[in-house]
Amino acid sequence: MAPAPTGRLHIGTARTTVHNWLFARHHAGVFVLRIEDTDRARSTPESLADILDAIRWLGLDCDEGPDVGGDYGPYLQSE
């Protein structure tokens, strides 16, 4: 999953995130969160925090991501 941190998690992105998480879990896969932070003018740390909070609120856990780490990094596109 690769949302852009330019605002709150959009309902369509939330739906896709849930679908991807369920697919990964059903197939014994890995759910990786990568952040598309290439829009430097609009990307903010607050938006990234909101996205991570929304994913947690949905009850989803990331196997790898910017706040978890792992083998598939980097997790920020700008890196």
Domain ranges of the chain: 1-79
Reported as a single tens digit per residue, the pLDDT across 16-63 is: 999 999 999 999 999 999 999 898 889 999 999 999 999 999 999 999
3-state DSSP call for residue 32? strand
What predicted TM-score, i.e. pTM, was given to this entire model? 0.86
- What is the CA angle 79-71-12, rounded to 5? 65
Q: What is the CATH number of domain 1-79?
A: 3.40.50.620
